[in-house]
Structure 1
Amino acid sequence: MIVSPEMIPSASALPTASTSVAPIPTIVPTPPHIVAAGDVGNRTLWVVVVIMAISSLAFYGMAFRVPVQKRLFHIITAFITTFAFLSYFAMATGDGISFASYTKTEHHKKVPSIDIDVKREIYWARYVDWSITTPLLLLDLSLLAGLSGANILVAIVADVIMVLTGLFAAFGQGKDSQKWGWYAWGCIAYLVIVYQLAIGGRETVARKDSKTKAFYASIAGFTLILWTIYPIIWGLSEGGHIINVDSEIIAYAVLDILAKPVFGFWLLFTHDSMASTSPSLEGFWAHGFGEQGTLRVGDDGEA
Structure 2
Amino acid sequence: MMIPEGLFDQVLAPGMVPNSRPTQTSRLPFPTVTPDIPKVHHQYSTEVGHKTLWVVCVVMGVSSLVFYVMAMRVPVQKRLLHTITAFITTIAFLSYYAMATGTGIDIHTTVIRETKLHVITEIVKRQVFWARYVDWALTTPLLLLDLSLLAGINGASILVLMFSDLVMILSGLFAAFSRDGPQGWGWYAFACLAYLNVIYQLGYKGRHAVSTKDNKTKMFFGAISLFTLVLWTLYPIVWGVADGARVVNVDGEIIAYAILDILAKPVFGFWLLLTHDSMARTSPSIGGFWAHGLSSEGTLRVGDPHDEA
Question: TM class by shorter-chain length?
Answer: 0.7 to 0.9
**1:157 and 2:157 aligned:** no
Any conservation in 1 of the 2:37–2:121 contact (CA below 8 Å)? no
Unaligned runs of 5+ in 1: 1-17, 107-113, 297-303
SS at match of 1:34: strand
- Cα pair distance change 1:24/1:147, threshold 3 Å: closer
Structure label with greater radius of gyration: 2
The 2-side partners of 1:48 and 1:295 are apart by 50
In the other structure, the counterpart of 2:111 is 103
In the other structure, the counterpart of 2:83 is 75
Residue 279 (structure 1) shift: 1.9
Residue 29 (structure 1) shift: 4.6
Residue 278 (structure 1) shift: 1.1
Correspondent of 2:126 among 101, 113, 120: 120
Residue 295 (structure 1) shift: 9.4
Residue 226 (structure 1) shift: 0.2
Instruction: State, as a whole percentage, how many aligned pairs show the same letter.
Output: 61
The 2-side partners of 1:219 and 1:293 are apart by 42
Residue 177 (structure 1) shift: 2.3
In the other structure, the counterpart of 1:13 is none
Moved more, 20-29 or 187-196: 20-29
Unaligned runs of 5+ in 2: 1-24, 115-119, 302-309
- State how 1:33-72 maps to structure 2 within 5 Å: 33-72=41-80
Q: How many residues align?
A: 273
In the other structure, the counterpart of 2:225 is 220
Correspondent of 2:175 among 155, 159, 169: 169
SS at match of 2:268: helix
The 2-side partners of 1:25 and 1:204 are apart by 70
Residue 181 (structure 1) shift: 1.1
Equivalent AA in structure 2 for residue 63 of structure 1:
A
Normalised by the length of structure 2, the TM-score is 0.83
In the other structure, the counterpart of 1:3 is none
Correspondent of 1:91 among 73, 92, 99: 99
The 2-side partners of 1:42 and 1:215 are apart by 36
The 2-side partners of 1:94 and 1:154 are apart by 35
- Cα pair distance change 1:185/1:293, threshold 3 Å: farther
In the other structure, the counterpart of 1:14 is none
Any conservation in 1 of the 2:111–2:179 contact (CA below 8 Å)? no
- Cα pair distance change 1:295/1:259, threshold 3 Å: farther
The 2-side partners of 1:71 and 1:56 are apart by 14
The 1-side partners of 2:38 and 2:207 are apart by 57
Any conservation in 2 of the 1:284–1:293 contact (CA below 8 Å)? no
- Cα pair distance change 1:28/1:259, threshold 3 Å: same
Any conservation in 1 of the 2:45–2:250 contact (CA below 8 Å)? yes
